[in-house]
Amino acid sequence: MLWDLETYNWLTNSVMNPAIAWLGTLAVQTTWPWIQPYYAKLAALVGNWANPAGAVQAVVLAYRQTVSASTLPCDNLDASGAPCADAYSPTRALYSTYNGPMYQVTRASDGTTKDIYPLDPGGDVDAAAQDSFCFGTTCTITKVYDESPDWDDLTVSQGGGAAPSPDHPVYAAALPIQIGGTNEAYGMDFTGAMGYRDNSAQNTATDGEQEGMYMVASGTNVNNGCCFDFGNAETSSDDKGAGHMDAVNLSTTCFFESVAPCTGSGPWVQADLENGLYNGGNGSNAANTGNNSDFVTAVLNNDGQANYELEGGNAQSGGVAGVFNNSIKRIKGDKIEGFESKAKSERPWV
């Protein structure tokens, strides 16, 4: 399998390096009619000629774009031309082909670790493996694996900058749920200073590039603490000023309450752009009334310069609805540098 390090090294050294020069010659001969349908994928490979790891990832991405009739999120996004840069879930695979580890648990009794996998490629998590490993003791989730070709795994935030103290891992069995009423799984229940991040993520937006992100989280176990976010942030783990962050937030925090009260009681899908949570323009948005369903899909899309869009909806039924789509000068010239999934509020991420 691709995620095995030995196989990865073999692909890089024995296959990709010798093939790159040949592909470089082949791809430029675009007058050959048969090559036209494949040119974009070949160009992606050749574009990574100086980066063997990137070339291998491009091969995987090209393969995944051929998947059809899939209902899994990252297959659909890849096929639409907007591939998942990073993909995390402790409950199910996000690609129909994924059969690698989903998360790692660490046992309190002896400090040993175990990776938890899906039951089948593209399937739900094998929660029974966690139950067996953690029987008679407690376990924490110490790593969340990236299912995308970028392999940007999340580990417990170590602090730095404005947050000098390290965060703590979530307890692995704190949020038992069922998928489809039958399959056991565990969400991630964040309480207090718990969070995960990767300060060396690949292929995430930088220097004001456009991007989108979504998370599925609880709409019932929430508070107004700062900050339950999923998205991009500074690689320094420090607040480098307004506009240096790009993350979707779901909480009952009404950042501009003193200027224009929020509508309803929340929680609201908002954009955390560093030093400000925005639920519509520079203040209140009457259309963003919040969503307190058991599980909420929260979406943030933007062009990285002056426009952003928020969407939210019940993750268990129906679709998402736009709660804001307008321009804002607030993120003009932002520099999104890293990737962060950080939680300070008491709310699960699943």
Instruction: pLDDT tens for the chain, 350 residues: list them.
Output: 344 445 555 565 556 545 544 554 444 444 444 444 454 455 555 545 445 555 555 555 444 444 444 578 899 888 888 888 899 999 999 999 999 999 999 999 999 999 999 999 999 999 999 999 999 999 999 999 999 988 899 999 886 655 556 789 999 999 999 888 888 999 999 887 888 999 888 888 887 788 889 999 999 888 887 788 998 888 888 778 777 788 999 998 887 665 566 788 889 888 888 887 887 755 567 777 788 889 999 989 888 777 788 888 888 887 776 655 544 433 333 334 444 443 333 323 32
- Would you say residue 69 lies in a domain? no
What CATH number corresponds to the domain at position 284? Answer: 2.60.120.200
- Are 216 and 323 part of one and the same domain? yes
Helix (H) / strand (E) containing 76: helix 73-79
- 76 occurs within a structural domain: no
SS percent in the chain: helix, strand, coil, step 5: 20, 30, 50
> 229, 252 in Cβ contact below 8 A?
no
Report strand pairing: 339-343 vs 183-186.
Answer: unpaired
Look-up of token digits 């003193």: 258
Residues 348 and 211 in one domain: yes
Cβ neighbours of residue 139 closer than 8 Å, sequence gap 6 or more = 105, 106, 107, 108, 130, 133, 171, 172, 173
Same domain membership, residue 323 and residue 231: yes
138 part of a folded domain: yes
Quote the tokens at residue 180: 């489809």
**Tens digits of per-residue pLDDT, 215-230?**
999 998 888 877 889 9
Last residue of a domain, one of 194, 215, 231: 194
Shared domain check, 37 and 117: no
Residues 31 and 114 in one domain: no
Radius of gyration of the chain (CA): 21
Which residues form the catalytic set?
Answer: 274
Q: Which domain holds residue 10?
A: 5-64
Residue 303 sits in the same domain as residue 232: yes
Residues 214 and 319 in one domain: yes
Q: What is the pTM of this model?
A: 0.73
Look at residue 305 and tell me if it is in a domain.
yes
The 3-state DSSP class for residue 10 equals: helix
Q: How far apart are CA 18 and CA 329, in angstroms?
A: 48
The 3-state DSSP class for residue 295 equals: strand
Q: Is residue 255 part of a domain?
A: yes
* Residue where a domain stops, chosen among 35, 64, 93: 64
Do residues 31 and 116 share a domain? Answer: no
Same domain, 215 and 263: yes
Three-state secondary-structure class, residue 26? helix
Last residue of a domain, one of 140, 167, 194: 194
* pLDDT at site 11: 60
Domain count, the chain: 3
**Tokens standing for residue 225:** 């603490």
SS3 state at 61 = helix
Answer whether residue 268 is part of any domain. yes
> How many Cα atoms within 13 Å fall on the side-chain side of residue 106?
12
Same domain membership, residue 230 and residue 123: no
Residues 327 and 212 in one domain: yes
Strands (E), 22-119: 103-107, 113-116
Task: Give pLDDT tens digits for 329-343.
Answer: 333 333 344 444 433
Is residue 71 assigned to a domain?
A: no
The answer as to whether 249 is a domain residue is yes
Examine residue 83 and say whether the peptide bond preceding it is cis (omega within 30 degrees of 0). Answer: no
Q: Are residues 41 and 117 in the same domain?
A: no
